[in-house]
Each structure stands twice: as structure tokens, then as C-alpha cells.
Structure 1
Amino acid sequence: MAKSSNSVLVILAFFAIYVIWGSTYLLNKIAVLELEPFMLASCRFTTAGLCIFLLAKIMGIPLTITKKQLLNTIIAGILFLSFGNGVVVWALRYVDSGFAALEISSQPLIILLLMRVLQGKKIQPMSVIGVIFGIIGIYLLVSQKQVIAQEDSIIGMVMIFFCMLSWAYGSLFVAKADLPTNYFVNTGYQMFTAGLILALMSIGFGEKWSSPMVWSGEVQISMVLLVIFGSILAFTSFNYLLKAVSPEKVATSTYVNPIVALLLGWYFLDEQITLQSIMAAVILLTGVYFINTKKTLAIFERFKR
């Protein structure tokens, strides 16, 4: 009976990291068309952080951390969420949600190259093949006339690339940083502090804040889904799977997320899926497959969105 129960939990958890994470691109795209991007991201992560703190208190998990751990969670929150995610939300004003998901799927490539540049780690032959496939896939993706023709799309693509650099460096940083041992508490502090920093960014850029009461029904629903499912449930499911199944199985979300994002963007937002986009997706995800060695997976998958 216990084994059957665990099997159901594993299936539900995979559904969360496949579909829910893949859907966050659509939800952010819907919301950012109406709301200011940094305000949107700030509301999402601050609320999610507070919810995690509340759940931790209910479950009796201590929230006490050291000053060093607090500083490191702030740095990680900036790298992953304030810049790494907040600017992606901003870029979604200029690129399709499916396109953004495909570009971000090349994240393991960026991590691999940073490990080589900053740590001198040797790139394995299979990973070299993956890098070549990845570069070809990215070129096919960003060189499409339909994409370049969109207003300010190049700015959006470039900023997403810098977000990937921030996320990749953050992955290397947290691998050695002193952080809260409880992943739930760690996530809560990262999300809450990142949300506060995003609020400062929003004010600094002169964004106009609005009350959730005046948001459209679509945006209100999107925000609730982002907070509850995208920020709390999916991340908890992800950490559960890391203990319940092998990292290679968890890593399949790297390949499924962009496909889910492409299909949802096409169905709900009428985003165009071109033949070149399909070719780019196949080549790029093949490259990610070659790059995803166990060592890279352990770093990348632990800190995914």
C-alpha cells in the first residue's frame, strides 16, 4: 500500500515539474502584458516567501539562520530571482513565452562553459558535442526573421541571455555557499528577500504600482497560480523527486518544460510555432541531453526555477 502511495506521489510530482513549471512562462506572459514586470515578480516572490514562512511555522520548522546564511540567501535570491527571473519577466514583453522557454533550456550549456572559465573544469567529449549542438540550436532559434522583426525582440533575447549568466553563476555560488540546511527555509528566505529587492528595482525604474483589486480576472488567477503552484508546489515536488528517483529522471523536465511552454503559448496566446523553431528545439534539446552529465545535473537541477 505504501509503495502504491509513493508511486502516486512520484507521478503527481512529475506532473508538477513538467506541466506547472512549463506553464509559468504562459502565466508570466499573461500577467506582464498588464502589470509592470518588476512589480509582478516582486508580488509573486514576496507572497510566496511569506507563505513558505507560514507553512514552516505550522510544520514546526525553525526559521532561525546565521548572519552569513542570510547574506548568502540574499545573494542567491538576487542571482536567481531578482535578476535571473525578474528580468526574464521584463523580457517577456518583447519575446514569445515559448521562445523564452527554449532559449532558457540552454542553461546547462552556460553552466558548463562557466565551470570551464571560472573553475578550469575540463569539458568531457560528450559535453563538447552538446555545446556544438547547443550553439547551432540557439543560432537557429534567434536568427528567425519572424523573431527579429518583432519590436525590441533583440533586446529581450540579449537580456534573457544575461539572466542565464546570472542563474548559472548563482548555481556555482550556492554549490559552495553556507546556506540554511532546510531547503524549504532556504527557498523562503531567497524568495522573500528577492521580492523586496525587486520592489526596490521597481521603484527605482519608476514603475506604477497597482492594487490586486483592480487587476483583471486573468491576471489575478495567473498570480495565484504562480505563487501557489509555480513557486511553492512545483519546487517542493522537485526536491521530493530528487530524493525519490534518480537525477537523470528528474532532469527530463529540462526537455519537457520548453515543449509545454511552446504548446501553451500557441494554444492560449496564438504564438507562432515555425518549422525553424521546431528544428531549433530538437537540436538545442539534443545538445542539452549530451551536456547533462550527472555532475552538471546535480548543480543545475537543484536550483531550477
Structure 2
Amino acid sequence: MSASRKTILIILAFFAIYVIWGSTYLLNKIAVSQLPPFFLASIRFLTASIIIFIIAKVLGISLSISKKQLMNATIAGLLFLTLGNGLAVLALKYIDSGFAALEISAQPLVVLIMMRVLQGKRIQLMSYIGVVLGFIGIFLLVSQKELITKDGQILGMVLIFACMLCWAYASIFVGNAELPKNHFVNTGYQMLTGGILLGLTSLVLNEPWSMPQDWQADVQWSMFGLILFGSIIAFTAFNYLLKEVSPDKVATSTYVNPIIALILGWWILNEVITMQSIIAAVILLTGVYFINTKRKFKPRYIGR
């Protein structure tokens, strides 16, 4: 592959993990306005997993998996998608998409603290600064009177925090679990098992199911974007970048995604961006930068 073509592919891949993943908050917000959250997420990931398996077969990639790998993929699917993504989509029924993205941007902080608690991992000085800044940013974000007085706002915040805990624990679990070596196949099984569990959760909660032809046009397009772009193209780009550039450069999506989500939510859904939210975003993202500075950070797919 020529250097110029490779450069173009890298630029397109960064566009995918920056803009596409940043836009999934908006797409989920639009879709959940009509569809129940766990049904929505189930359809998204089941459809994406089927497409992934078809592509894998066409490319001649083996789909074989051991019982242990399947069990670990199921656990990862439960944590990342059923609980992580499912709770995040549910939270979007109550809070703005940009606000959710900002709160979720603190996930590296949660991972760091959880690694300290569960694994006794030493926290570096720069990371301590990041933790302090992160807590200040989160406090400024969630303490806004004009937000917490809205119906369901506190519940939405709690749900986002719960999904962050699930993602953080899943990131630690996946780092040591035996899973299919092929990232594409691994993701397919996580999406398949996570999607099945989401569907079962939807049935238990007695959510109303519907056919795509019954959805409004904006919901149909949002689901199309979530499945094709958010679940397949962006993740493929994510894995491509992990092989072609340093992990710390890939991790910059942590800083860009919430900014994209804020702008899209303001532009398309007329979501309000307060000055306190902007200040909180700057402090919080600065904290995340300090947490990721001078430490080996391998991003984990968290089912955006």
C-alpha cells in the first residue's frame, strides 16, 4: 500500500472514531424518542453481529470459538452492551445527549479508580491530578440547578454512572480474558450475546416491539446509522488505527467524542449548552488527559 493511500485511510479512520462515535449519542437520543431502550439496543447489536459474521465468512475468516471464549464473550457482551449500552440508552430518555457524552467522558477516571481498588494498581502523580480535576469537572457538570430540577434528570445521571461502572469493569475483565484473537470476530460474538441478552431484558420488562416499517423516518435513519456506521464501520476503523498508530493517539477519541456530541445535540436537537457545562467539560477533559498521560493506555470498545 502506498504511503499516500495509507495516510488517507488513517485520516478516514480517525474521522470515524471522532465524528461517527461522537454522533451515536445523537442517534440514540433520536431513536429512543420512539423505541423502548432495550429493544432499540437489541435490534442494533443483533443486526450488526449478523452483518459482521457475513462479512467474516466472505473474507474467509474463521468463526470458530471455544466454550471458554464464548462464555467470556457473553460476559463482555453483558457488561459492555446489555448493561453498559442498555443503561446509557435508557438514560437518554431523561437527559440530553451532549450531557450524557460529557459524563461518560469521565470513564477513564472510573477505570483508574477501579484498577486501584480491584488490582492494587499504583496511581501515578499525573493521574492523581487527573482524578482531582475529573471529580471537580463531574461535580460542576451534575450540580447545575437548571438541570437537576428537570424530571428524571437525577435518574439519568445515576444510570450513566452505572453504565460507566459496567464499562470500566468490562475493560479490566477483557484485558485478562481469553477471547477470539480476531477483533472483528470477537466483537461479533460480543454483539450477538449482548444483543440476545438485551432482547431478553426487553421481553422481561414487557417493552413494546415493533417492525422497522412502523418507525418514523428519523428513527429508521438513526438505527441505520447506529448499525452500519456506529457498530461496524467505526469499530473496524478503531481496530485498524490500533495497528497503524500509537494507542495514545487512538485514545484522543475520548476527548473529541463529547465535543462532537455537544455540538450535534445543540445544532440538531436544540439542546442547551450552559457556561457551567462548558467549564465542566474543559476541566473534566483536562483531567482525562492527565490520567492518560505517561501511562500505557489501550482503548477498549465500549459499545457506543
TM-score (norm: length of structure 2): 0.98
In the aligned structure 2, how far is the partner of 1:39 from the partner of 1:158? 21
> Partner of 1:30 in structure 2?
30
The offset of 1:162, in angstroms, is 0.8
In the aligned structure 2, how far is the partner of 1:44 from the partner of 1:59? 23
In the aligned structure 2, how far is the partner of 1:178 from the partner of 1:235? 20
- Greater CA drift, 31-40 or 143-152: 143-152
The offset of 1:294, in angstroms, is 5.5
Q: Deviations over 1:178-204 (max 9, x none)?
A: 000000000000001111100000011
- Counterpart of 1:302 (choices 275, 300, 303) is 300
In the aligned structure 2, how far is the partner of 1:56 from the partner of 1:241? 19
The offset of 1:146, in angstroms, is 1.8
> 1:47-58, aligned counterparts within 5 Å?
47-58=47-58
Which secondary structure state, in structure 1, belongs to the residue aligned with residue 95 of structure 2?
Answer: coil
In the aligned structure 2, how far is the partner of 1:117 from the partner of 1:45? 31
5+ residue gaps, structure 2, are none
> Partner of 1:103 in structure 2?
103
The answer to whether the 8 Å contact 1:248/1:294 transfers is no
In the aligned structure 1, how far is the partner of 2:37 from the partner of 2:200? 13
> Partner of 2:41 in structure 1?
41
Kindly indicate whether residue 14 of structure 2 is the aligned counterpart of residue 4 of structure 1: no
Kindly indicate whether residue 212 of structure 2 is the aligned counterpart of residue 245 of structure 1: no
The offset of 1:295, in angstroms, is 4.3
> Partner of 2:158 in structure 1?
158
Q: Which amino acid aligns with 1:73?
A: A
> Partner of 1:234 in structure 2?
234
Q: Which amino acid aligns with 2:36?
A: E
In the aligned structure 2, how far is the partner of 1:296 from the partner of 1:7? 24
The offset of 1:296, in angstroms, is 5.4
The offset of 1:303, in angstroms, is 2.5
Q: Which amino acid aligns with 2:208?
A: K
> Partner of 1:137 in structure 2?
137
TM-score (norm: length of structure 1): 0.98
Kindly indicate whether residue 260 of structure 2 is the aligned counterpart of residue 260 of structure 1: yes
The offset of 1:4, in angstroms, is 0.2
In the aligned structure 1, how far is the partner of 2:146 from the partner of 2:239? 38
Kindly indicate whether residue 63 of structure 2 is the aligned counterpart of residue 63 of structure 1: yes
> Partner of 1:83 in structure 2?
83
The answer to whether the 8 Å contact 1:112/1:296 transfers is no
Which secondary structure state, in structure 1, belongs to the residue aligned with residue 61 of structure 2?
Answer: coil
When residues 126 and 295 of structure 1 are mapped into structure 2, their CA distance, relative to the original with a 3 A threshold, is closer
Q: Which amino acid aligns with 2:44?
A: R
Kindly indicate whether residue 271 of structure 2 is the aligned counterpart of residue 271 of structure 1: yes
Identity of aligned residues (%): 65
When residues 264 and 136 of structure 1 are mapped into structure 2, their CA distance, relative to the original with a 3 A threshold, is same
When residues 78 and 294 of structure 1 are mapped into structure 2, their CA distance, relative to the original with a 3 A threshold, is farther
When residues 294 and 302 of structure 1 are mapped into structure 2, their CA distance, relative to the original with a 3 A threshold, is farther
> 1:148-227, aligned counterparts within 5 Å?
148-227=148-227
Q: Deviations over 1:25-66 (max 9, x none)?
A: 000000001100000000000000000000000000000000
**Aligned-pair Cα RMSD in Å:** 0.9
Q: Deviations over 1:149-169 (max 9, x none)?
A: 211110110111010000000
Q: Deviations over 1:181-240 (max 9, x none)?
A: 000000000001111100000011110001111000000000011000000000000110
> Partner of 2:13 in structure 1?
13
In the aligned structure 1, how far is the partner of 2:21 from the partner of 2:73? 22
Q: Deviations over 1:88-147 (max 9, x none)?
A: 001100000000000000000000000000000111000000000000000000001121
5+ residue gaps, structure 1, are none
The offset of 1:293, in angstroms, is 4.0
